Structures are given as C-alpha cells and as structure tokens.
Amino acid sequence: MLENKYNIGETEKKWEKFWQEEGIYKFDKNSNKPTYSIDTPPPTVSGELHIGHIYGFSQADMIARYNRMQGKNLFYPLGFDNNGLPTELLVEKKKKIQAHSIPREEFTKIALELVDGYNQNYRDMMVRAGMSCDLSLGYNTIDNRSQKTSQKSFIDLAKRGIAYRENKPSPWCTKCRTSVAQFELEDKDLDSIFNYLNFKLADGSGTIPIATTRPEFLPACVGIFVNPEDNRYKHLVGKLVKVPLFEDRVVKIYADSKVGIDKGTGIVMCCTFGDQTDVEWWKEYKLELKQAIDDGGRMTEICGKYAGLKSIDARKAVIEDLKAANYIFRQDPICHTVKVHERCEQPIEFLSKKQWFIRTSTPQLKQTWADLGNQLEWHPESMKTRYMAWVNNLNQDWSISRQRYFGVPFPVWYCKKCGKPNFASIQDLPVNPLSTEFKGKCDCGCTQFEPESDVMDTWATSSVTPQINTNWAEDEVGSNKKMPMDMRFAGRDIITTWCLRTIIKSYYHQGCLPWKSLIINGWMMADKGIKFSKHLNNSKMGLNEIMETYGADVVRYFSANGAYGRDVMFNEEGLKDGYKLLNKIFNGSKFVLNFLYDYEPKKPKEILPIDRYIMHKFNQAYEKTCAFYNDVEMGYAKAEIEKFFYFFCDNYIELAKNRLYKPEIYGQAAKESAQWASYNVLLGMLKLLGITMPHITEEIYQNYFKTYEKEKSIHLTTLHPIDIENENIIEKGDEVIEIISKIRQFKSENKLSLKTEIESITISNSNLEFIKQCEADIKAVSAVRNINYATCNFNVEIGKVVE
C-alpha cells in the first residue's frame, strides 16, 4: 500500500540507493541490445553546485532514459575534468603546497586524492537529481587512462605533422605564469591614463605625437605606424624616430591601414608585444623581437634602469622620467577595456614562447570542419549556425602548450644537439619526461636530451573524451567500431570550443565524427537577463534547499520546461507546477491501485466502450509523446503526457469510479473491464512520466506493478502502446466527455454542487449507438436520473434539477 501522503525526500533517497545498489543503470558489456552511447561532458569540479548545473544534465538524462526504455543498452558515463589550472590552484590552496616543490607524479597523486572528495560531492548531487549515469564508467582527465589517451593523441598528431612546435607570441598571464587560450580571456574595464608623448625624428626635423597607455613598453618599441591615407603624416613614412628615454635606439615609420586616423593622435607605436595588432605588425613587417616583460610580469634587462620592476611600477617610473625630460605634453585619464585572464582577472601580456600547435585553420581544414558540422545531427538545428560562423572565422591554429607544472605532460624530449623532438613509445604511456629518461638515440646520433617541461592545455585532453570512453589508447580496432558515439550534450557557450575541438580530434584520429548527434541546451537564468554565476552567488534558493523542499522530480520537471535549447528563468512558481503534478500522480495512482491490489491483470472477454476509449486515447498520447522525444523535445513530451494524466484523472477515473466501487450494482465484469484499462493506462503513463520524474514513478511501480511486470525497476521496462484491437472510437468517446462537460458547466454556472441530481437530459446526435452503450457511466458520473435521445445534430439539453 502507498503511504497516505507522499514523502518526497525519504522516497527519493530510498530509490536512489536502490538504483545504485542494484546496478539498474549499469552498462551491460555482454548485452545483445543495441548500444546507445553518450559522451557525457566531464564537468570541472570547483565551487558550489547550483540549480543551473542540474538543468542541462537533467535534460540530457531524459534523452538517456527515453532511449533506455526503447530497449537500448546505455553507455552513459560521468567523468570529471581535473587536469587543468583550477585543480592545480585548488590543490595548492587546500594542501598548502607549491606545485613546483614536489615531483609532478606526487602532485598528481595528491590532486587525485583531493579531487576525489569533490567528485564524490558532485556524483552524490547527480545521483540525488536522478541522473541515470553508470558511475562505474567514470574517469578523471588526470588519471592514467586519460593521460595515455591524450599523450597518444599528441604523438599521433606530431608524427603526422599535424601538431608542430613554433615560436609564437601568444596571450600570457604573468600571475599564473602560463600562456592562455583566446577563449580563456574576458573583458574588464580598467582606469588608465592616456599619455601623449613627443617622439623626436632622428634627422632632427621635429617631433611627432604618439599616445599610449603603456609607456613602460618603450624599450620594446620596434616600429611606428601611421595610416597611409592620413594626409597629416603621409610624408613621415620611411623616416626614423628616436625612442624616448632610449634615444640610442631608432625605429622606422611604417604605413598600415589598421591604424585608426581618429584614434589617439593617429600615430601608433608597435611594441613586442602590447596587443594583438602588435603581433600582426611584427609578423607582417618582420620587425625585431624585443621582450620587455618576463614570465612573471617584471621588466627585462633590455629595459635598463627599469629592469626587475613590476610592469605597473615601471610604468610609474617611466612616466616620471618622461615628465622630467619633457616628453609628455598631455595626460588624459580614461577607462578602457582590457583583456584579462578569466581565472585570475590579471590583464594579459603577449609573450613569445616555443609552443605546440595543432593545425586547424587552413582553408581545406576549415572546409572539413564545415563538412563534419553538416554531417552532425544538431538539436536544435539552429545551433549549427554558430558553429559554422566560428569555423568560417577560424584564423589561428590551436595552441596546446601550457607552461604549468600540473597537467598531462608532453611525452617528448628534444635532442640537445639538433633540437629534434623524440617521442615516447606508445606502450610506455603515460610518461612524464621530467622524471623519465628518453631511451634511445636521436637521428643525429646524439644521446643527450632535454625533456619538455610544459603540459598540455586541458582542452587537449577534454577533446578526446570519445577516445577515452571507447578505449582508443588500448584498442583502436574496438574503438573504431564504437565510433561515432551516439550523443553529446553541451551548453551553447561551448559549441565553438569544446565541441569543435572534439570534432577535430576524432576526425584526425579516427576519420569520423565523435558523435552522431549533438544536443545543445540553453541556460537557466537567475532572473531576467542574469545568468547564474559562481562569482555573483545569486542563487535565490540553494540547491539543497530546493531538493529538500521540492525534490529531484520537481527540479527535473522544471528543467524540462520550454522549447529545447532555449534559456529558462528560474522561478519558484515553476517548481510549484511540478509539485502539483507530483501530488496528482501520487493521489491518482493511490486511488487506482486501491482497486488493483487484489487484481491479477488478465485481458477480459469483453471490454466496455469507455475503457476501450481510454486505452485508445492513451495510445494516441503515447504516440505524440514519443514523437516529441524522438525530436529531442523533452518539454513538449512532458507536457503531452502530463495533459493526458490530468485528463485520465478528471474524466476517466470519474467515469469508471462507480463501476470500480460497486460491482454489486454494475456487475463484476464491468469492474474487471475498468481494472484492465486502469492497469494498462496507469502503467503506460507512469513509464512515460518516469522519464521526467523517475522517483515517484518507481515508488508506484514497486508498490504494485513489479509483481506482474517482472523488471526489477520501472526504468528497465520498455515503452510500447497498449495492445488493443484497432477501432475508430476516439471521436465517439470525446463526445461522451463533452456531454459530461456540458452537465458540469450547467452545474457550475448555476452554482450547484457537482453531486446535484438532475431529473433528465436529452442527448441529440446523428449516431447514438456508442453514447447509449455508455449510458450507465454517464448517469453515474453526472448524477442524471434519465437520459432521453433524439436523432439530430449533436446537442445536450439539461432538464430540471431534483429538489
């Protein structure tokens, strides 16, 4: 028997425990069923979880559950991404150790131990939210399997010339002492001062005005630029200019259309490197490379007396000296946007370092990425546009070197004599070249090697999750058979980064897409226009509080709202809607089960018309719901079956109630007919509702249906329509519902109780056969004593009320 009142927390936790202990969601290696494989994106575990995290995952889980109930064997892992900077910083902070102070292996070991606790919290919350992942399939991107996969990927690409090493200026964070990728940068508004300087022409013919916010870069000034269309300065092109404070140095004036005539003074100094434009000019005009700032943000020896100062202090000193020497003729305070490293908010510098790159940006490759994008099944389709636009604008190869200590090392040693990179053997992976000698000889005969000390960017590893999942490092043939995986889900912000990179790697290694379909979810917004954010800490309700009050089923219900891929706004009202359905499912089921506990399902010889009708009506809702799930529209699917559930309760239960209660009046056969319909329809509804609300549906299944359905969990049953003979009955049944509705309307308008008895009604219709068959049910539900019939257009006339 079900409890009188549904206890959300207790019941949900009970079944979560059951699912884990019984291995309900375990992937079965030996199964004959077709596999449905999901490349779950491994989350970076840091900070508090908020309801926004649950949003995307629970939507994907609904697709997983739908496929499982289609009879598929689910490969649905939950890994964690923890080989990057956030983990390194977390370990340093929590364990109070400097990464560099201990061997990399040891640091990694400590990291894995520490991260395990965080992973467990995350896993617990995923389980608590009703995710049906197989936790035994998890991985850490810093574990041996992931490292091996990532290193093998690198060696494969490097040996084929797809990965190459080159000296390239790239964004650098002097605080984290690492190069950073373009997409790790964000904008920040900072106050600064625009300094107007007079540069002396080398021939003594005068001065030219240049405005700069970074005067400390003067020692790295390698050229002056004006716009070729600028009539004021055209004549200066080709002349030489003395660098202020460093007057033994002269630089040439160039003309380039990238100079904005209206900006500043219209004359720009190019320093290596102040910004991206400097990088481009340096490359294009083959300028000298003068590095003014070192890895840690201090001035280098080329800066003379400023060497060793932090750049910010050097700036003050330089400005003082410029003022003293009368170079500055104007200073304007400005607020401008600078690129900062998203993790530490430190303004970035451009430094030139030897880095490994992966080729991604030639026109042919771009065409390949576009072709692959077209082969991929996008949900929703409109998201493809973003991908295509990005691919089209791709103009840089992918930098994968990071000058950090913690991470997946490059398995490479450079020959001390000729510099050639020598790679580790695949069977030795994973290796750390800092602690392992290269065994062998370079082609040049040399046996002395310099190990690579850099590690790979975390994306280099998180882009091979399909290869980690399919065990490509150990079994290429087996992996190839499993590729592409069936599905990947992701937030729409990472289509162009994570998704594209994963596509690139799968193409290079296995010549195919990583997945057949990509499902993009929107964001859950905290309030109008405001995203949930770790920085803002703006969750109105904490996740634990929400789970306590409403439970996972309700959170999942809320997550299913709206059209797929769209943002939704968090509001407690939305949770209350889910709570209503939860309550309704419990009460409706409790009522029906009362009449089923002593019933063994057996198809009766004769099924009454209303009972046949509700089963056909269910099949109709079933088809619609499944069609929505096939189109990855969880919101519409949920709404469809929810609508039908309410219909079932408000109409069918009311109609069948009397027959179920009073077999002595309506007959035992009439009761059994209603039992048969109730059994099938309720079970069918629970299965479909269970995709969104797995806990409550399990509770009800276990309470009764399990005895007759064999499967040990409702989530292992398969979806199918009710087996019933084909019959054109839905329209006729709908007419009966309309008759009842008209009588209810009459009573409501006349402010009567629904129990109020009515003397007689007259039903008119062109064909009265079906309605006549339902007479007993209509009378019972509407409290009508007599029904008269007339043959003409459909109409219901309501007679006198019994006083």
Partner RNA sequence: GGGAGAUUAGCGCAGUUGGUAGAGUACCUGCCUUACAAGCAGAGGGUCACAGGUUCGAGUCCUGUAUCUCCCACCA
Q: Which of residues 191-210 bind RNA (CB under 7 A)?
A: 194, 210
| Residue closer to RNA, measured from CB, 482 or 492 | 492
| Residue closer to RNA, measured from CB, 39 or 184 | 184
Residues of span 108-167 touching RNA by CB under 7 A = none
| Residue closer to RNA, measured from CB, 335 or 477 | 335
What is the DSSP track for 171-187?
A: EEETTTTEE--GGGEEE
Site string for RNA, 470-499 (x = CB under 7 A): ----------------------xx--xx--
Residues of span 651-690 touching RNA by CB under 7 A = 653-654, 657-658, 661-662
Integer Cα distance of 397 and 359 in angstroms = 5
The residue behind tokens 């202090």 is 313
Among 165, 252, 580, 779, binds RNA (CB under 7 A): 580
Tokens of 617: 């009506």
Among 377, 476, 650, 775, binds RNA (CB under 7 A): 650
Verify binding: residue 447, RNA, rule CB under 7 A.
no
Q: Which residues pair with 135 in a beta bridge?
A: none
CB of 265 to RNA, least distance (A): 7
The residue behind tokens 């109105």 is 540
- Give the number of other CB atoms < 10 A from CB of residue 747: 19
**Region of 82-90, 362-370, 574-582, 762-770 interacting with RNA (CB under 7 A):** 574-582
Residues of span 604-633 touching RNA by CB under 7 A = none
Can you give the length of the chain in residues? 803
Residues of span 715-754 touching RNA by CB under 7 A = 741, 744-745, 747-749, 751-754
CB of 783 to RNA, least distance (A): 9
Verify binding: residue 401, RNA, rule CB under 7 A.
no
Verify binding: residue 7, RNA, rule CB under 7 A.
no
Verify binding: residue 572, RNA, rule CB under 7 A.
no
| Residue closer to RNA, measured from CB, 213 or 773 | 213
CB of 461 to RNA, least distance (A): 19
- Mapped to the 3 state alphabet, what secondary structure does 388-455 carry? HHHHHHCCCCEECEECCCCCCECCEEEECCCCCEEECCHHHCCCCCCCCCCCCCCCCCCCCEEECCCE
CB of 447 to RNA, least distance (A): 43
Integer Cα distance of 660 and 775 in angstroms = 16
Verify binding: residue 537, RNA, rule CB under 7 A.
no
Among 18, 285, 390, 507, binds RNA (CB under 7 A): 390
Characterize 242-255 residue by residue with b for buried, 16 or more Cβ atoms within 10 angstroms of its Cβ, and e for exposed: bbbbbeebebbbbb
| Residue closer to RNA, measured from CB, 340 or 424 | 340
Tokens of 800: 């006198």
Cβ(650)–Cβ(741) under 8 Å?
no
Integer Cα distance of 167 and 178 in angstroms = 15
**DSSP code of residue 382:** G
Residues of span 223-252 touching RNA by CB under 7 A = 225
Verify binding: residue 535, RNA, rule CB under 7 A.
no
| Residue closer to RNA, measured from CB, 186 or 450 | 186
Residues of span 40-69 touching RNA by CB under 7 A = none
Tokens of 568: 């939704």
Residues of span 168-187 touching RNA by CB under 7 A = 182-183, 187
CB of 726 to RNA, least distance (A): 25
| Residue closer to RNA, measured from CB, 297 or 578 | 578
Tokens of 221: 């000034």
Among 68, 315, 339, 612, binds RNA (CB under 7 A): 339
User: Rounded to 5 degrees, what are φ and ψ at 13?
Assistant: -65, -35
| Residue closer to RNA, measured from CB, 1 or 477 | 1
Integer Cα distance of 658 and 665 in angstroms = 9
Residues of span 501-530 touching RNA by CB under 7 A = 523, 525, 528-530
Among 144, 403, 583, 764, binds RNA (CB under 7 A): 583
CB of 588 to RNA, least distance (A): 4
Cβ(74)–Cβ(27) under 8 Å?
yes
Residues of span 252-281 touching RNA by CB under 7 A = 258-260, 263-264, 266-269, 274-277
CB of 538 to RNA, least distance (A): 12
**Region of 23-31, 155-163, 380-388, 784-792 interacting with RNA (CB under 7 A):** 380-388
State the number of binding residues for RNA (CB under 7 A): 87
**DSSP code of residue 497:** I
Long-range contacts from 191-194, C-beta under 8 angstroms, 24+ separation: 191/333, 191/334, 191/335, 192/333, 192/334, 192/335, 192/336, 193/319, 193/331, 193/332, 193/333, 193/334, 194/264, 194/331, 194/332, 194/333, 194/334
Contacts with 796 (C-beta within 8 Å, 6 or more apart), sequence order: 738, 739, 742, 743, 761, 762, 763, 764
Verify binding: residue 591, RNA, rule CB under 7 A.
yes
**SS3 label, residue 759:** strand
| Residue closer to RNA, measured from CB, 352 or 538 | 538
| Residue closer to RNA, measured from CB, 147 or 311 | 311
Q: Residue type for 561, please?
A: N
